[in-house]
Copies of this chain bind each other. A is one copy, B any other.
């Protein structure tokens, strides 16, 4: 691939998939860096991610004040807008990919910065390929983002360190509750994000500094789940400590495992329909072991908790955004910015590049050796890996009312140039 520089044109920034506490740091890095390069003229945000491009629903990021842009670094969720708009491969969804390119052409977009996870990188790769096929010069750069930490090609993903820091802290706190109340409410089950991978659940293991600390048991989707073994595990910890704090990935009943009887039925119909895995397991513990059990489910709160986000994570998210622009201006395309760990102690990390075509549209699973032999607790390998990612706190802007102030973009619309997309959109 020959590097072409001095490609003049406009840029589009899009966010995709589930929000994180630091995805806006990446957006901030992109915009602040793009403002420094005179080959980039307009900088557009895509309302609701890829869907905003299909709908030609763009807004002017240059119209935002420098202060608002800077404030993105302490603003959770996806301020540019996000979506879960599925686009299959080029053969299946060609019309919609053509539409994306048509919108880019209409607005002279030559730089496309796409912040997202696995599915988004697959889409970015297809946009890149189509542009190459049609000989439309477009620099597509992926910026990694996912609390699930399941992107290939990068040491870790922006978003993961912050969910790790917040969850580990919340479980230290809730674990102290179980410890104080053990005589009456000895078991607590916390359900955390992770349909297909256990990275988030494993991060909660950072809370356990000493034997006896919560969490006492962790269940991840990568390790087959057995209800009988789960009950035995809870009984054993409860007998030994008088209490038991359990962390479960939301997807543990979706994977392989011995889901006999009721659990099989729950798995079949989807535990989400029955109120989630923790709610289900809580009832099983109460019935089978006969001890009261509480449960909590932090759901979207955990992935947006900028109020206790990791500074390391936030800074790396920002760095990935800046680097995406620098690489694009230098001529790169069809790549994703990656995080490359240089050392654990002291922790040092820099950026690299991975070719989008080399990233499988799959899920990088938690390595088996990050969990112990029993499969219910994390190992030193996990601690060495995840520990540095939670260092430092993100400075917030606090309002006079004692609550954080988040940025809100004014979203000045970019006039449409194309007819409405005839295809179906949500």
Contact assessment for A305 and B170 in the assembled complex, using a CB-CB cutoff below 8 Å: yes
Q: Which residues of B contact A365 (CB under 8 A)?
A: none
- Closest Cβ–Cβ distance, residue A157 to chain B (whole Å): 18
A360 within 8 Å of B (CB atoms): no
Contact assessment for A181 and B310 in the assembled complex, using a CB-CB cutoff below 8 Å: no
Question: Interface code A408-426, partner B: CB below 8 Å = 1, 0 otherwise?
Answer: 0000000000000000001
CB contact between A181 and one of B75, B83, B280, B401 (< 8 Å): that residue? B83
- Closest Cβ–Cβ distance, residue A292 to chain B (whole Å): 10
Copies, count: 2
CA distance A275 to B15 in the complex (A): 33
CB-CB nearest in chain B for A47: B183
CB-CB nearest in chain B for A75: B176
Contact assessment for A207 and B403 in the assembled complex, using a CB-CB cutoff below 8 Å: yes
CA distance A407 to B76 in the complex (A): 30
Contact assessment for A206 and B403 in the assembled complex, using a CB-CB cutoff below 8 Å: yes
Question: Interface code A281-307, partner B: CB below 8 Å = 1, 0 otherwise?
Answer: 001000000000011111111011111
Contact assessment for B174 and A300 in the assembled complex, using a CB-CB cutoff below 8 Å: yes
Contact assessment for B275 and A76 in the assembled complex, using a CB-CB cutoff below 8 Å: no
CB contact between A180 and one of B79, B165, B206, B387 (< 8 Å): that residue? B79
- Closest Cβ–Cβ distance, residue A387 to chain B (whole Å): 6
CA distance A168 to B280 in the complex (A): 28
Contact assessment for B77 and A173 in the assembled complex, using a CB-CB cutoff below 8 Å: yes
Contact assessment for A301 and B402 in the assembled complex, using a CB-CB cutoff below 8 Å: no
A276 within 8 Å of B (CB atoms): yes
Interface of chain A, main secondary structure: mixed
Contact assessment for B304 and A296 in the assembled complex, using a CB-CB cutoff below 8 Å: no
Within 8 A of B (CB), among A163-182: 165, 168-170, 172-174, 176-181
Q: Which residues of B contact A391 (CB under 8 A)?
A: 401-402
CA distance A169 to B74 in the complex (A): 13
A143 within 8 Å of B (CB atoms): no
Q: Which residues of B contact A307 (CB under 8 A)?
A: 169-170, 173, 308
- Closest Cβ–Cβ distance, residue A170 to chain B (whole Å): 5
Q: Which residues of B contact A77 (CB under 8 A)?
A: 173, 176-177, 179-180
Q: Which residues of B contact A188 (CB under 8 A)?
A: 300
CB-CB nearest in chain B for A169: B307
Contact assessment for B19 and A181 in the assembled complex, using a CB-CB cutoff below 8 Å: yes
- Closest Cβ–Cβ distance, residue A173 to chain B (whole Å): 4
Q: Which residues of B contact A169 (CB under 8 A)?
A: 307, 403-404
